[in-house]
Amino acid sequence: MEWLGLQLFADLPASGRIVIDCRHEPLLVLLAYFVACAACFATLDMAERQSHSDDPTAHRQWNMLGACCLAGGIWAMHFISMLAFQAPVEVHYDVSLTILSLLIALGVAWLAMHSLERKQMRGWHFVQSAVLIGLGIILMHFVGMAAMETGARQYYQTGLLLTSAAIALLTSLAALCMARYFRNGSGTLYQAMKYGASLLMAGGIVATHFTAMSAMTLVIPADTALRLPSGDNSLQLALGIGFITLLISGASISAALADKKLQSKDHDLRRVSELLSQLDQARASLQQAAHYDALTNLVNRRGFNQVLAERLAEHQASESRLAVMFLDIDHFKRINDSLGHDAGDQLLKVIANHIKAATRSHDLVARFGGDEFCVVTSLNNRDEARHLGQRIMQRMKDPIDLGGRRMVMTTSIGISIFPDDGKTAEELLKHADLALYQSKDNGRNSLNFFNDSLKARASIALQLEEELRLALLEERGLCVHYQPIFDLRHGHVAKLEALVRWQHPQHGLLGPDRFIGIAEANGLIIDLDLWVLRHACADLAYLQRHGYGELKVTVNCSAVTLSHDELPHEVEMALFHAGLSARQLELEITENALMGDIQRTVNLLKRVRALGVALSIDDFGTGYSSLAYLKRLPLDVLKIDRTFLQDVPGSQKDREIVQAIIIMAHTLHLQVVSEGVETPEQRAFLESHGCDYLQGYLLARPLPMGELQPLLERLRQDAVLSPCCDTVLPGSPDLYAGNPGYRAGASTARRGH
């Protein structure tokens, strides 16, 4: 087959002269290989820059520069190798075909660089591109060979020709894979591998050329005169082409290196910028976390203190007023205990929104933690603070759907005014807190302003707390009084209720309503209850030794003590040290003590009941009465609260309530004790309706141990129950004038007992 004067896949002619003395100049062959290596390395660099360029214009520029490097390298290697070819004939080159071969090389190189632009390349993409590039290289080679004019015809052996084409295809495939692989990487090993890849690619290109040259045989036709070579400038021309090609490749490599450094610096700058941005975000996040509550997104205590200090400085300069309002959600703990903390968190979010909605845009609203909130507002007079507090309380009453339940929450509020109630943040917060506790003492869901009497009460409460702690530690000043409980059926004293008193050195004898609340608020109530338990057991043991072996003692147990896991052990130890049997002790619990973890309470009471200790529920009907509780609790006795007896027998409703409670208790196999019996008519009514036990001032008031034994002796001698003392309770000194006393379930004496 003849193509452009080349005899492809053809046998040698029968006539003509074969040019035998053909060889290649080694120096120029090495130059051709070196040029190819430089061009391949430059092409790999261009491919790397192309993949790292984000700018479309720069991307196209690197693409074209890579194509020029590769095309120049392939074509220069081919042309220098042809110049290295030496034969005993005159050689000239057709300019148009030479330029055409260069253009073909450019097209092949552009196709190679374009193939590398794909984001993802599958196997068939590599094969398809390699076939096109390989065929292009073969085409470029033979067009270049056609440009060589020698007067002889070029015949090509089929086997070597196909081998050359196969080498071109494999070289193209390997070049694509290596260029794709070396687009990313860094380090010494990476550079060494890229150098090796350049050598392999150049070797493949050189092998393609010289395999094709080996397939060529020059035959001078018989009718053509032999023209010997004249002047030879091949070396100068080859060196010139090599120098220009190396210059282009070197410049391209330098440009790629400079761009890589610039891009690395740009990347470093972007990284620094990102780090600075992340630091700013982290600083903002830390600022948010440090000054804002994560749950409600309100200002937290730390942020509140900072803003409050700034506002106080502003108001001091302008001599204007400012209100600090402390808010506490009433009975919030029940929500957490009954519905769980997740529901409690959802409720706090809704409450925070309610408070924000009720306040003005310039008011400061903060969450201090738990269910405590604080509001700071500027005002002209105290009424503005009152109106704002009332708006908040009214907004809080909006129904809230939570956990499938519809509930209404209330809040207690305490208010202090700057500068009337303090000039520092610490004073204002402390005084608002005192006003808040006054609101709680008044029954919650109320609003109170700070006044000087609250400060005096707080001072007394603090003093009492310190003295109570010392009294418990030294067991000095505390004592137990006992009130008899009468058995209506047998007409004698069956039990003694132990009631704690405190003989204070300045304030005289204090009833439990003066210090139980302080003990509960400051973590002393468990120690106080256990102290009463031990002393009551010891006193009963003393009475037993003096002939009162049939008596039992009842001891009150507060809600906090009822959650104490060691309570059964403490009861067992108190009985053991006193030498009493468990049947002689009865623990009284209030209904309010059952509002926590009811299952845990039931399990704890069962452990106490397993010892043989009797259990009674105190103040029945005044707390959270539930027949479900009565059914689940291991109870023996039910005590009717005195409030149901106050108007008996005059009030028909109260008579019916008391009668119903007695019937219900007996139905549940519980004995009934009625508290607060003060008149013979009340005693007669209870006796006629089957009440089991009576307790009250009609029969006996609480007495210290020294006065109890003579009373018991006199009552033992009396055959009939009769009033034994005045029904007026001498009250404890009122240390909190105008303030209701603390009410607790443990060791509490009430009027009428």
With cut-offs at 50, 70 and 90, classify the pLDDT of residue 734: very low
CA-based max dimension of the chain: 167
Nearest to 741 by CA among 402, 334, 442: 442
Lowest mean pLDDT among 299-313, 427-441, 492-506, 733-747: 733-747
| Residue recorded with tokens 């009934």 | 672
**pLDDT at position 530:** 92
pLDDT tens digits, residue range 3-34?
665 667 767 766 666 666 677 778 888 887 88
**pLDDT at position 490:** 84
Lowest mean pLDDT among 172-186, 339-353, 503-517, 720-734: 720-734
Cis? peptide before 649, omega within 30° of 0: yes
β-bridge pairing 372-379 and 492-504: unpaired
**pLDDT at position 741:** 35
pLDDT tens digits, residue range 693-717?
999 888 888 999 888 888 888 877 7
Structural domains in the chain? 17-262 (no CATH), 301-450 (3.30.70.270), 460-717 (3.20.20.450)
Average pLDDT over residues 163-179: 74
Q: Answer whether residue 751 shows pLDDT above 50.
A: no
Cβ(236)–Cβ(56) under 8 Å? no
Residue 239 CA, distance from chain mean position: 72
Q: Percentage of the chain surpassing pLDDT 70?
A: 75
Lowest mean pLDDT among 171-185, 193-207, 413-427: 171-185
Q: Answer whether residue 736 shows pLDDT above 50.
A: no
Please count the other Cβ atoms lying within 10 Å of the Cβ belonging to residue 476: 10
Please count the other Cβ atoms lying within 10 Å of the Cβ belonging to residue 18: 13
pLDDT tens digits, residue range 323-367?
999 999 888 887 777 777 888 888 889 999 999 999 988 899 999
Cα angle 645-646-647, degrees, rounded to a multiple of 5 = 95
**pLDDT at position 569:** 93
Which residues neighbour 367 within 8 Å (Cβ) at sequence distance 6 or greater? 293, 295, 296, 298, 299, 300, 348, 352, 373, 374
Cα separation, 429 vs 308, whole angstroms? 10
Average pLDDT over residues 315-323: 85
Cβ(10)–Cβ(1) under 8 Å? yes
- Of residues 133 and 632, more confidently modeled: 632
Tokens of 272: 């620094």
Mark 437-461 as b/e (b = at least 16 C-beta within 10 Å).
Answer: bbbebeeebbbbbbeeebeebbeeb
Lowest mean pLDDT among 184-188, 282-286, 435-439, 714-718: 184-188
With cut-offs at 50, 70 and 90, classify the pLDDT of residue 114: low
Task: Please tell me what DSSP assigns to residue 737.
Answer: T
Average pLDDT over residues 55-61: 69
Backbone angles phi, psi at 619, to 5 degrees: 55, 40
With cut-offs at 50, 70 and 90, classify the pLDDT of residue 585: very high
Backbone angles phi, psi at 501, to 5 degrees: -135, 160
Which residues neighbour 170 within 8 Å (Cβ) at sequence distance 6 or greater? 130, 134, 204
With cut-offs at 50, 70 and 90, classify the pLDDT of residue 230: low
Tokens of 710: 């003579």
Q: Answer whether residue 237 shows pLDDT above 70.
A: no
Across all residues in the chain, what is the average pLDDT? 78
> Any alpha helices (H) in 53-157, and if so which ranges?
56-84, 95-115, 123-146
Average pLDDT over residues 230-237: 56
For the ranges 121-125, 622-626, 699-703, 735-739, the one whose mean pLDDT is highest: 699-703
Average pLDDT over residues 202-212: 77
With cut-offs at 50, 70 and 90, classify the pLDDT of residue 108: confident
| Residue recorded with tokens 């193209």 | 172
Please count the other Cβ atoms lying within 10 Å of the Cβ belonging to residue 359: 19
Q: Answer whether residue 387 shows pLDDT above 70.
A: yes
- Of residues 556 and 476, more confidently modeled: 556
**pLDDT at position 748:** 39
The dihedral through the CA atoms of 522, 523, 526, 532 has a sign that is: negative
Average pLDDT over residues 300-320: 87
**pLDDT at position 337:** 73
With cut-offs at 50, 70 and 90, classify the pLDDT of residue 128: low
Cα separation, 192 vs 195, whole angstroms? 5
Tokens of 198: 């350049």
Which residues, in sequence order, are bridge partners of residue 617?
589, 638
Nearest to 77 by CA among 132, 12, 144: 144
Cα separation, 123 vs 173, whole angstroms? 10
Nearest to 327 by CA among 445, 455, 458: 445
Cβ(624)–Cβ(652) under 8 Å? no
The dihedral through the CA atoms of 460, 463, 467, 468 has a sign that is: positive
DSSP 3-state of 523:
coil
CA-to-CA dists, residue 116 to 129, 455, 629, angstroms: 10, 83, 80
Lowest mean pLDDT among 43-57, 348-362, 386-400, 719-733: 719-733
Q: What is 390-428 written as a DSSP string?
A: HHHHHHHTS-EEETTEEE---EEEEEEEETTT-SSHHHH
Which residues neighbour 459 within 8 Å (Cβ) at sequence distance 6 or greater? none
Name all contacts of 628-634 with Cβ < 8 Å and 24+ positions apart.
629/591, 629/594, 629/598, 630/668, 630/670, 631/668, 632/598, 632/602, 633/594, 633/601, 633/602, 633/605, 634/602, 634/605, 634/606, 634/609
Q: Answer whether residue 636 shows pLDDT above 50.
A: yes
Give the start-end residues of each E strand in 505-591: 508-510, 552-557, 585-590
For the ranges 231-240, 442-451, 454-463, 618-627, the one whose mean pLDDT is highest: 442-451
With cut-offs at 50, 70 and 90, classify the pLDDT of residue 271: confident
Cα separation, 124 vs 173, whole angstroms? 11
- Of residues 382 and 226, more confidently modeled: 382
Q: Answer whether residue 126 shows pLDDT above 50.
A: yes
| HSE, side-chain direction, 13 A CA sphere, residue 525 | 27
Q: Answer whether residue 744 shows pLDDT above 80.
A: no
Which residues neighbour 696 within 8 Å (Cβ) at sequence distance 6 or greater? 642, 674, 675, 676, 677, 678, 682, 752, 753
Nearest to 44 by CA among 171, 169, 180: 180
The dihedral through the CA atoms of 221, 224, 228, 230 has a sign that is: negative
Tokens of 225: 């005169």
Lowest mean pLDDT among 282-291, 369-378, 625-634: 625-634
**pLDDT at position 245:** 65
Nearest to 250 by CA among 412, 41, 418, 468: 41
- Of residues 291 and 134, more confidently modeled: 291
Lowest mean pLDDT among 183-192, 497-506, 559-568, 680-689: 183-192
Residue 38 CA, distance from chain mean position: 57
Cα separation, 542 vs 706, whole angstroms? 12
β-bridge pairing 585-590 and 552-557: parallel
Which residues neighbour 184 within 8 Å (Cβ) at sequence distance 6 or greater? 48, 51
Cβ(348)–Cβ(371) under 8 Å? yes
**pLDDT at position 366:** 92
Tokens of 718: 């009396």
Q: Answer whether residue 743 shows pLDDT above 60.
A: no
Flag whether the pTM goes above 0.85. no
Q: Answer whether residue 499 shows pLDDT above 80.
A: yes
Tokens of 374: 């604080």
Average pLDDT over residues 293-315: 88
Which residues neighbour 633 within 8 Å (Cβ) at sequence distance 6 or greater? 594, 601, 602, 605, 615, 617
With cut-offs at 50, 70 and 90, classify the pLDDT of residue 467: confident
